Amino acid sequence: MRNKSYLAGASSVALAAILSLTAGQAFAQDDAEVSEVVVTGSFIAGSPEDAALPVNVIGADEMQKQGAPSTVDLIKSIPAVSGAIGESNQFGAGQTTGSGNINLRGLGAERTLVLMNGRRMAVSPGNITVDTNLIPAAAIGRVEVLKDGAAATYGSDAVAGVVNFITRKNLNGFEASGQYSFIPGSDGEYTTGLAYGWVGDRGDLLLTAGYRHRSELNTRERDYTIRSITENPQGGWSSFGSPGIYLSSANGGASYTSAYADPGCAVISGPSCAFQYIGFDNLIEREEHYQLFGQVNLEVTDSTKFHFEVLYAGHDVPEENSSPSYPPNNFPSSATTTKAQGNGFYIPASNPGLQALIAKGLAPATAATSGLFTSIAWRPLGVGGNGLYGYEGKEDRRKFTAFRVSGGFNGKFENGIGWDTALTYMEDQSEIATPDIIVSRLELALRGLGGTGCNVATGTPGVGGCLYFNPFSTGVPANVLDGRTNPNYVGSTANSKDVLDYLFEDYSYETRTRLFAADLVFNGELPIDLGAGAFAWAAGGQYRWSAIDRRVSDLTNIAVTPCVDSPINPAATCTAKNGAFSFFGPLTNYDLDYSVLAAFGELQAPLTDSLTATLAVRYESYSGNVGATTNPKVALKWQATDWLAFRASAGSTFRAPPQTQIAPAFTTNLAYTAVAGGYRAYDLYGDPNLEPEKANTLNLGAIVQISDFQATLDYWSFDFAGPIRNESGSSIVNALFPNGTSTTLPNNCANPAYAGLLSRVSFIGGVCLPGNINRVRINYVNGSDVKTSGLDFSANYKFRDVLDGSVGLGLDMTYVLNYDVAATTIEGVTVLPAADYSGTMDYLGYGSQPKWKATAFAEYTRGDQNIRWTVRYVDDMIDTRGATTFTAASPNGKKVDAFLTHDISYRAFLPWDVTVTASVINVFDQDPPFARLDLSYDPFTANPLGRYFKLGVTKKF
């Protein structure tokens, strides 16, 4: 069964039905031949002449020919997908390292509905999209990608389209597979899979287990990531450094000091010392992925079938590397400091690190009696690393686990009406822990009263269990990133692991999403026939319940630890409830849910032998104040000649706001703020008055099929009204400070028209200056209208009888005509003008939107061997950031160049049912194009690995 053409299987019937071959996708799979299948996008079983939807089908054979790519690699290779996560997630992707998603049309992954065997999956607790890395790769037989709005069929979330992962059904026996990728600079990546299948006269069984390991790849292993501050000011550079800036008196003394002698300090202006944290980060984190899956199909009677499947999957990122410490956003109160500053920490003259600094002439003489105060341009640990983690960056932890079960019956009544009913339940849980410093403990440790064994009331600073923390470079022996030693190091002042362990606690929380769905669908034929066949219909309903809850650790919980002093005094009270941590704000527990009732209908009408119309409509009603919506869709297919057909579809689609976006709770995110010189906290709040977003969709296509040549051309468009999104914090900041970091040029701090925007920003010391930005409040809103359109083109041709084999050529491409966004107004101020974002990289806004994405290949097949050369192209983009990032003197990175890579893959079917695949990915070792981002490339469109090699073996028993 190893080399049967997939054109004899279910997916090929779907493929022929839609006449929309993705470039070169010839499929092979062990599925039995069938006459009708339900293609993604319709509830009506069809045959080749029925379909009119732009669906691509990717089968197991095609994946093998591509070198058995990971789910992430497969998704990113689809030209209609833009801005997908999964390769390197840390910057700009939230708490999602180890996760993947699908972002059709660049409209946001939350607008692509992901199904498994036609049933919904719960969204990831790390964001509001389905985590595609939970899909059981060893069980997947094919993937169907519907590139059209499908709310009329599937309801909310199917705005940009649908991706349906469909499991295999006809494996008979055991199958073992393994694959190793040799990636220079790391220990590589390996994947293993086991599958057992049984096929009987009245049923089949499939059991699979999969494991995938990704090894750490540090940024220092790729030259392009470590850039000078002149070349890439956003390349992991921060003005909040260690060594930092210190003040000679409270609230901004005129005298400053900075330990310039410490290696790695780059002077920006005046005394400011820049710190490059990117060397502590990884391009790829160590990830452990696992999936267990089982399914059974039984013919209960001659007219009734039973299906049941269960999935347990997860991934663990036990040590995500990041900066050794964060710059403080939160400051001590008078309860812990003897000299309150309001926007910093006090370091007394008795601190051994300060005494050593004075002795070396690196601090003013007055510090010997009055001590020093920290400025805001400071962080406790920097180039020396964090002693708790081997003097590297600190280690965050991300763990995701999911459980899913789905089962149901389908069959036909005696009158010919078919029915299908199913229940699906899934829950997905995340555990997030990020080490951060406790503010009150840091101030006590600067005074020599740190340590778990220190009695603050009676202890003597630096004696017994009372420990000092040295924030200065005198306690740092060397720059751990480049190995340069520090000539001003004084070993006796180095920080002990005990004091570091006292300072750091986990900012941690667990989040769980749950989904329950009950589906009932009927289908059949009407007694209407216009001479081209009977009208077909489908109708049904769905009940859907979804929930999300978050459980926060006591130190992270604003209800338990509201004040900066709460960890040392649980009875502490405060007006500003900023929590205990120095960088992250407190969180709340929540438990949110809502339910949906839906009814839908579909009619397929063969009007003539060459013209078929399909009509669909769906009504959904939400609990709470979300409301109800009705969405129709019409599709036409006209077979103009034997070789030429036209298709068209138009409809409305919608997406309801998730529970977290309509609850008044908030979540703190981190974003680079250029005018502040580093990352700042953005508190994102929900809005109970959010309305569902709506869009009108249109697809017009032509299909050509002449012998061994197939091609499709489609025009698509999406017209959004009130798309749900979070406000742009950077737009608020840029509107207040149009001249960037300047403290002398005009800003809008005193402009009454900007009072609303000003109320969104918290400033250190209450002083409205760009460098004083502390936190920014942003909200979920029904944002500016969006209109986007483009073209999809695919073609392939097979030359037969070439050197005793065949040659195949294929091309698949997407071109974005426009991505128009109306002007954006926040608090009565237009913060962004109307713009076309096609061909742009809009950092923390509309994402990466290359105009062109294309994949082309040439392959040669002879007997049991196949070799394929694949070329992948991502078009250049213009960075939308303006004067705060780019100037005439510093334009580097304004244009993100195109990315062109070549892959070569070889597959051979050997005796004893063994299949071998070997690949060279990125043959010419192309670095990703430079982008002025943390990693110096765009992780949403490019690949950071360079040239690497893959070898895979599959054995059937």
pLDDT one-digit tens code per residue, 323-373: 999 988 888 887 777 676 667 899 999 999 999 988 888 887 888 888 888
CB 39 within 8 A of CB 20: no
> What tokens were used for 629?
């919506």
Q: Report whether pLDDT(521) > 80.
A: yes
Q: How confident is the model at residue 884 (pLDDT cuts 50, 70, 90)?
A: low
Which of 23-32, 754-763, 884-893 holds the top average pLDDT?
A: 754-763
- Encode 467-485: b = buried (16+ Cβ within 10 Å), e = exposed: bbbbbbbbbbebbbbeeee
Token digits for 257?
């000091």
What residues have CB less than 8 Å from 501, skipping those under 6 apart?
388
Asked whether the predicted pLDDT for residue 953 surpasses 70, the reply is yes
- Specify the amino acid at residue 753: A
Give the Cα separation of 693 and 626 in Å (integer): 11
- Which candidate, 81, 42, 14, 20, places its Cα nearest to that of 633? 42
The pLDDT tens digits of the residues spanning 248-263 come to 776 554 444 444 344 4
**Where residue 188 falls among pLDDT bands split at 50, 70, 90?**
very high
* Distance from C-alpha of 757 to C-alpha of 827, rounded to nearest angstrom: 6
Asked if the bond preceding 243 is cis, omega within 30° of 0, the reply is yes
Is this model's pTM higher than 0.75 or not?
Answer: yes
Q: Is the model's pLDDT at 11 over the cut of 50?
A: no
Query: What is the predicted pLDDT for the residue at 773?
Result: 84
For the chain, what is the mean pLDDT? 86
Residue 161 reports pLDDT greater than 60: yes
Of the candidate ranges 61-70, 629-638, 812-821, the one whose mean pLDDT is the lowest? 61-70
d(CA 948, CA 521): 47
Indicate if the pLDDT at residue 27 is higher than 50. no
As a whole number, mean pLDDT of residues 856-860 equals 95
Position 250 scores a pLDDT of 63
- pLDDT score of 818: 96
The predicted pLDDT at position 263 comes to 44
Could you tell me which of 460, 507, 450 has the C-alpha nearest to residue 330? 507
HSE at residue 391, side-chain half, CA atoms within 13 A, is: 14
Q: Does the pLDDT at position 3 exceed 80?
A: no
Predicted local confidence at residue 872, as pLDDT: 94
* % of the chain residues with pLDDT over 90: 57
Average pLDDT over residues 20-37: 36
Looking at the predicted structure, is the pLDDT value of residue 883 above 80? Answer: no
The percentage of residues in the chain with a pLDDT greater than 70, rounded to a whole number, is 90
CA 314, CA 149: separation in Å to the nearest integer? 30
Judging by beta carbons within 10 Å of its beta carbon (0-12, 13-18, 19+), is residue 911 exposed, middle or buried? exposed
- Distance, CA of 921 to CA of 66 (rounded, Å): 10
Question: According to the model, what pLDDT value does residue 770 have?
Answer: 83
Q: What is the Cα–Cα distance from 804 to 797, expressed in whole angstroms?
A: 17
> Where does the pLDDT of residue 32 fall: very low under 50, low under 70, confident under 90, or very high at 90 and above?
very low
- Strand segments, DSSP code E, in 414-533 are 418-437, 504-529
- On the question of pLDDT at 406 being above 90, the answer is yes
Biggest CA-to-CA distance, the chain = 101
Identify the residue with better confidence: 274 or 437: 437
The per-residue pLDDT for range 536-561, each reduced to its tens digit, is 999 999 999 999 999 999 999 999 99
| pLDDT recorded at residue 677 | 66
Mean pLDDT value across residues 887-900: 88
**493 DSSP 8-state letter:** G
Closest CA to 86 of 106, 66, 72: 72
E strand map for 325-378 = 346-347, 372-374
Of 177, 186, 166, 53, which Cα lies nearest the Cα of 114?
166
**Cβ burial, residue 913 (10 Å; 0-12/13-18/19+):** middle
Position with higher pLDDT, 626 vs 407: 407
Per-residue pLDDT reduced to its tens digit, 710-750: 999 999 999 999 999 988 888 898 889 888 777 777 889 99
Q: What is the pLDDT of residue 98?
A: 83
